[in-house]
Every structure is written in C-alpha cells, then in structure tokens.
Amino acid sequence: MTKFDEIYQDMVRKIMLEGIDEINKSKQAGSERATYITRAIPGMHFTTDIEKDGFPLLTLRKIPVKAPVAEQAWFIMGSRKPEDFLREYTKIWDAFTNPGDVVTVAYGYRWRKHFGRDQLKLLIDLLRAEPGSRHGVVVTWDPAQDGLSLQKKKNVPCPYTFTVNIIGGRLHLHNIVRSNDVILGVPFDVFGFALLQCLLAQELGVRPGIYSHSISNAHIYDTHFEAAKTLMERKNEHQKIILELPQNSFKEIENRNRGVVDAIIENIDKQYHPSEAITGIKIVAY
C-alpha cells in the first residue's frame, strides 16, 4: 500500500465507524426526489508529502487515470465546454451542461476568466516575483451565485478555494472542500489538485511539497457502504508512484498540446497496478 492508501483507508474507516447518519434528498433531472443516507464527519483533514510519499493516486481500487488528467488540463485551459478537448478523454462533465453544452460552474473558467482576473496567471506571476508571498489564493466560489439558497443547481463548486505557498524551496498546495463524497470524490479531487500542484511547481522551478486537503463535510453515501467495507479490508504491495512531467508541461497544456497530456497519462499508467475495480459505484447528485 502507498502512503495515500493508508491515509484514505483511515478516512473511510473513521467515517464508517464514527460518522453520523443524516437523511438527505437528491433531485435527479426528470425524476422525483430520492431519499438517501449520508454517514458524515465534519472537519476532516489530511496531508501527504508528494516528494517523499509519491504521487497520491489510490491503488486500493482502480481509478481511471485518463479522466482526472484530462479534466485538470481542461481546467488549466479555462474552458467551460466539454466538447473543447475534454470529451475526447471523458464525459464526466456532460451531466452538468446547460442546453448550450456549457458547464456554467466550470472550475477552470472560474479560475481564469469568470471574476475578470486570470487567477492562475496572477498566481504564477506573484510567486515567481515573490516566492515567499502568502497571498497565493485562488477562488472558485462566487458569492453572487453559489450557495445560500434553497434553489438546487446542477453543480456548485465543492473544492471552492486553494492556497499555494513556496516554503523551503518546495511548492505546497492546500485544497479546501465544502463537501466531499469520500468514495468517489476524494480520490478524484486529490489526483487532480496534486497534479496541478506538480505542474505549478515545475512551472516555477521548485520541487512539489506537501498537499493538504481539508473537508468541511466528509461523507459516504449509503449506496457506497459495501464498497467502503471492501476498501477497509484491502491490502496490496503497490509501490509509490513518482510523477515525471514533460518539460514546460503547464505552458504546453495552456497551448492545448494533447501530446503532453497523453505523456502524463502514459507515465502514470505504466506505474499504476491497482487492486481490482469495484463496480456499481454511482454518483449521487446533490
């Protein structure tokens, strides 16, 4: 097992054994509200050192490597249409598009265009000029549109802000998440944001450091309880994954270089030998 496997297994075990059951309702498009239970814990947090512990990719079950790599590239491009690059690799955002095939709350669009500032560019410019700055904050949440309403939307940002610091010659990223589905969401989000951390570190000429992940509401859906029990019991001998990025990866992704994206996927794939997939795990829309 990798270090991240151990961290993740501890999270799942803590929620299953100590979590509080709450009744919730979900409205799927064109259907009645479905009632389900979440077993939740408030304020979960973990850290992992990418340089020391390896890239945090879950090996206790098979994760589709192609999707989170392509998704993060799509974010960096600042797009909000899945047909623009993303759909060639995955259709995970198709359920959140409007009739114009636009994801109105696309993370990358929020980072690069929505607030009238290119936050990623400004982040890189700031830390290149002043590596010790503590102002490296990127925000996804728009208080003019998100939350604080009984009106349900297709998608509201879950990872809603992250902070980047360079300390000791290493780039550290702290991801703050309002709500995380621990079985499906956590492995995917950690993968994507840790990849972003490594891309930013390379772009700024420093080493990747500690990835931190803070969740306000960490939960497991009742339909995922059996998968959680399976994950709590699994062991393997997987070695840590060392991510090797092509040169100038961040800029090449900005320039929509599919070859770089494919090379990142290939680099991870050749090291990734996970335990078998757990089938039948479905997203609960809420």
- Residues tagged active-site: 158
State whether the Cα torsion 93-95-99-103 is positive or negative.
Answer: negative
Shortest CA distance to 245 belongs to which of 255, 235, 260, 234? 260
Alpha carbons within 13 A on the beta-carbon side of 199: 23
Per DSSP, the residues of 183-243 read TTHHHHHHHHHHHHHHHHHHHHT-EEEEEEEEEEEEEEEGGGHHHHHHHHH----PPPP--
Tokens standing for 188?
């995917």
Question: Where are the alpha helices (H) located in 78-183, listed in sequence order?
Answer: 107-109, 119-129
